[in-house]
């Protein structure tokens, strides 16, 4: 590969270049962030909760003793970390062998491959695991088998699974929740508040959720600050809410927030979904013989990423709402963040915007009126040369 080819590859626009994505995950946040950054995204880390293990919790101890003494018919293991935590806690109380012996004699269901691995590592074997890794499929199987008069123990996700427990009880089951760990608010709430402010300001293009408690926690914090409706409006309109699966999406859907979910409930497919959805929302514009795409904090001009300062992006978005039409200095001033009433701020930001775009003729000055994007009248999208 020669230097020219290498330079072209270095300038190649990645799927998430120019976009900012919020990450609310407590676990595997670094892994998700790395996947997003590898594809060009800027990442705002804001863990919306923290996992608190409960090896000394009296409720878990009492539940474990009860299940050892009064055998359940079915045990549903939902997460690997939770199942391992339960076994480790029981061992700490001197109940490890008794719990394993009890679990060996019941119908043990595993939600997915990770928890299946944790079950086998403990010397046990699951009876069944759904191919979809969906709790909905687990519920369907239990209801098809019939649960009337049966005792079903469920290792919880930190809270009761919405709809799951109610459906089993309505069909006559006795349901026992096994609270291995709980979700708590983060010790440092600052990153969450910054993410909420960015959502309202449309400073992020998407927010990712990998658990229902994280989604609920983010909305709860917005309510505490009195900004929940503003956050919901942003999530219903410009800011994508991307969830790892349907259970995670429930708190958002309950507030009429449209959510996006991959077909496979994994971090990789979640990132791939973002790589399709965010660029797919961008409408290329033919401007002054160039092709321009406006992304979150950058523009793509003729296939080359051009980072743009926040003030410049505010102006560019205002112009792009009416491409080809003149936008007055007064209207552009109102679009500038914290600019006050001085129209000189528009001229300064406009000069920096033109430099950032690398093609000054993209934006035309209309004397005594304002500025306009020089939209090509026929939109010749296949003919974009330099100046």
Mean pLDDT of 60-75: 95
Structure token pair of residue 7? 């330079």
pLDDT at 127: 95
The total number of structural domains in the chain stands at 3
117 and 87 in a common domain: yes
66 and 165 in a common domain: yes
For the chain, give the percent of residues with pLDDT over 90: 56
191 and 43 in a common domain: yes
In a domain, 236, yes or no: yes
In a domain, 181, yes or no: no
pLDDT in tens, 33-55: 999 999 999 999 999 988 776 65
- Is 296 or 132 the better-scoring residue by pLDDT? 296
Domain boundary among 242, 257, 280: 280
- Is 364 or 212 the better-scoring residue by pLDDT? 364
Q: Which residue has the tokens 């976009």?
A: 19
259 and 154 in a common domain: no
pLDDT in tens, 300-321: 999 899 998 888 898 998 998 8
At residue 161 the predicted structure's pLDDT band, cuts being 50, 70 and 90, is low
Most confident among 92-106, 298-312, 321-335 (mean pLDDT): 92-106
CATH of the domain at 369: 1.10.10.10
32 and 123 in a common domain: no
152 and 120 in a common domain: yes
In a domain, 97, yes or no: yes
Backbone angles phi, psi at 317, to 5 degrees: -65, -40
Domain boundary among 245, 280, 315: 280
In a domain, 162, yes or no: yes
pLDDT at 247: 75
Task: Give the HSE-up count for residue 327: Cα atoms under 13 Å, Cβ half-sphere.
Answer: 23
197 and 259 in a common domain: yes
**Enclosing domain of residue 246:** 3-49+186-280
274 and 191 in a common domain: yes
In a domain, 384, yes or no: no
Domain boundary among 109, 142, 176: 176
149 and 60 in a common domain: yes
315 and 236 in a common domain: no
At residue 215 the predicted structure's pLDDT band, cuts being 50, 70 and 90, is very high
57-71, 97-111, 271-285, 339-353: the lowest-pLDDT one: 339-353
């Amino acid at each position: 590969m020669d230097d020219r080819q290498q330079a072209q590859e270095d300038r190649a626009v990645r799927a998430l270049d120019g976009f900012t994505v919020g990450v609310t995950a407590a676990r595997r946040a670094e892994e998700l962030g790395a996947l997003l950054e590898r594809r060009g995204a800027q990442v705002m880390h804001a863990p919306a909760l923290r996992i608190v293990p409960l090896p000394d919790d009296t409720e878990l101890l009492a539940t474990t003793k009860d299940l050892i003494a009064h055998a359940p018919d079915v045990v549903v293991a939902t997460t690997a970390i939770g199942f391992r935590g339960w076994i480790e806690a029981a061992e700490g109380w001197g109940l490890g062998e008794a719990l394993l012996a009890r679990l060996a004699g019941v119908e043990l269901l595993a939600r997915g491959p990770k928890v299946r691995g944790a079950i086998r590592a403990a010397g046990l074997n699951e009876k069944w695991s759904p191919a979809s890794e969906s709790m909905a499929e687990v519920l369907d199987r239990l209801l098809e088998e019939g649960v009337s008069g049966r005792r079903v123990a469920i290792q919880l996700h930190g809270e009761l699974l919405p709809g799951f427990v109610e459906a089993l009880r309505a069909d006559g089951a006795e349901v026992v929740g096994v609270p291995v760990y709980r979700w708590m608010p983060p010790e440092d709430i600052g990153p969450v508040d910054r993410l909420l402010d960015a959502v309202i300001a449309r400073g992020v293009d998407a927010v990712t959720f990998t658990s229902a408690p994280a989604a609920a926690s983010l909305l709860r914090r917005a309510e505490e600050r009195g900004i929940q409706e503003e956050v919901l409006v942003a999530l219903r309109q410009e800011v994508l809410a991307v969830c790892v699966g349907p259970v995670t999406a429930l708190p958002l859907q309950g507030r009429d927030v449209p959510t996006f979910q991959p077909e496979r409930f994994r971090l990789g497919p979640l990132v791939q979904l973002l790589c399709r959805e965010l660029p797919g929302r961008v409408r290329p514009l033919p401007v002054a013989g160039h092709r321009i795409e406006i992304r979150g904090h950058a523009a793509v001009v003729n296939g080359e990423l051009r980072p743009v300062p926040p003030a410049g992006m505010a102006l560019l978005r205002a112009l792009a709402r009416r491409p080809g039409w003149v936008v007055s200095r007064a209207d552009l001033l109102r679009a500038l963040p914290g600019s006050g009433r001085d129209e000189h701020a528009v001229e300064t930001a406009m000069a920096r915007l033109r430099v950032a775009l690398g093609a000054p003729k993209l934006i035309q000055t209309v004397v005594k009126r304002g500025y306009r994007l020089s939209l090509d009248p026929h939109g010749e999208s296949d003919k974009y040369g330099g100046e």
